Structures are given as structure tokens and as C-alpha cells.
A = this chain, B = another copy of it.
Amino acid sequence: MFFKFLPQEFNFFKLFEKQADCAVEAAIYLKKTVSSGSAGEEALGKMRDLEHEGDEASHAIIDQLNKSFITPFDREDIHTLTKELDDITDMINTLLNHIVVYRLCGVNANLVEFACVIENSVQAVACAVKGLRNTKNLAHVSEHCVEVNRLENLGDSMRNRMLGELFEKEKDPITLIKLKEIYQDAETILDICEDVAHVVESILVKQA
């Protein structure tokens, strides 16, 4: 095996940024779609493309990781970070899939509210990931992570409020099943963003 050295480490950052950008684009597209109140095959196709793009960046990271001797931070953290960035886009895709498969039509104000929080969280994740490149900016990176944690807590209480209302008001069990799952999906996206923030924080501690 032929080990490649330092120049490679710049590629890791570029690939992570590519992955983070895919997640941001997916979050923006999700917000646009739920705000318009109609999602169909076209939306799924667009989302599948974004997932693919992110996947390719992730595969390139793993390939490079397995061939590199020196890495910008712990191999294990690189592995976890790329996997969880991937999970963000996957989960946004899953949520959109559920909206289409369950044939939910019309604008659901709760879902729009969630999509805005999701977009903010994914943007903060992307800022945190991009900040890793410049070790002088680590304080800012930490602030973005704190914001992701705050949004996850917000999402938790949003989901509790929405589920509480849903079980109180919705009398049609099938509609209830659909919305319960969709609110749960939305909250899961914020959980995954928090997981990413935890990895980033752990990388920060080691670089301190």
C-alpha cells in the first residue's frame, strides 16, 4: 500500500464541506417543499440526487481515510463525522418520503415550523464543520455547536406539544399515525444534528 501524506488532509476538509453543503441543500429543499404544501415524485428525485452527492463525498472520505497515514484529526472521529453527516441527509430524505408515501396534502403549519428549525440546525452544523479547517476559529465552532444543542431541545418540546395536540384533537387514527411518524422523523433529524455537534465538540477538545 502506498501512503499519502500531508497534502491529502486538505481534501478531507473539502469533502466534509461538500457533505455538509448537501445536507444544507436538502434542508432548504425540505422547507420549500413543505411550505408549498405539495410533494411528489419530482421532490423525491431531487432529494435522491442530493443524497447521492453526499454519499459520494462520504465514500471519498472513507477511501481516503483508509489510504492516508496522517489525518487532520482522529481516524475514528473522521469515520463518525462522515457517517453522521450522511445520516442527516438520509433522514431528511426519509421524512420527505413519508410525506409523499402518506399522500399528505396541503400546508401543515407544524411541519413548516419544524422545517425552519431543521434548516437552522443544519446550517449551524455546516458552519461548525467548516470552522474545523481553521484552528484559529475554534471558539466560533463551539458557538455553532451550542446552537445545534439549543435547537434540539427546542425540537423536543415542539414535538411534545404537537403530539399532545394531535392525540387530543385528531379523531382519525390513520391521520394520527401519519402525523405522529412525521413529527417523530422531524425530531430525529435534529437529534442527528446534535450527534454531529457532539463529534465536532469532541474534536475541538482534542485540538485544544
Q: How far is the CB of A18 from chain B (nearest CB, A)?
A: 19
Residues of B close to A67: CB separation below 8 A: 205
Smallest CB–CB gap between A36 and chain B, Å?
20
Copies in the complex: 3
- Pair B208/A1 contact, Cβ less than 8 Å: yes
Complex contact B101–A62 (CB within 8 A): no
**For chain A, what secondary structure do more than half of its interface residues adopt (helix, strand, loop), or is it mixed?**
helix
Query: Pick the contact of A174 from B1, B164, B176 — CB < 8 Å?
Result: B176
Q: Please, how many residues of chain A have a CB less than 8 angstroms from a CB on the other chain?
A: 26
- Interchain CB contact under 8 A, A66 and B97: no
The interface residues of chain B lying within 8 Å CB-to-CB of A62 are 202, 205
Q: Is A130 an interface residue (CB 8 A)?
A: no
Is A173 located at the chain interface by the 8 A CB criterion?
yes
Query: Quick check: is A180 within 8 A (CB to CB) of the other chain?
Result: yes
On chain B, the residues within 8 Å of A176 by CB distance are 174, 177
CB within 8 Å for A174 and B173 given contacts A101-B163, A102-B167, A205-B63: yes
Please, could you name 10 A-B residue pairs with CB atoms under 8 Å apart, sorted by A? Answer: A62-B202, A66-B205, A76-B76, A101-B163, A101-B164, A101-B167, A102-B167, A173-B177, A176-B177, A177-B177
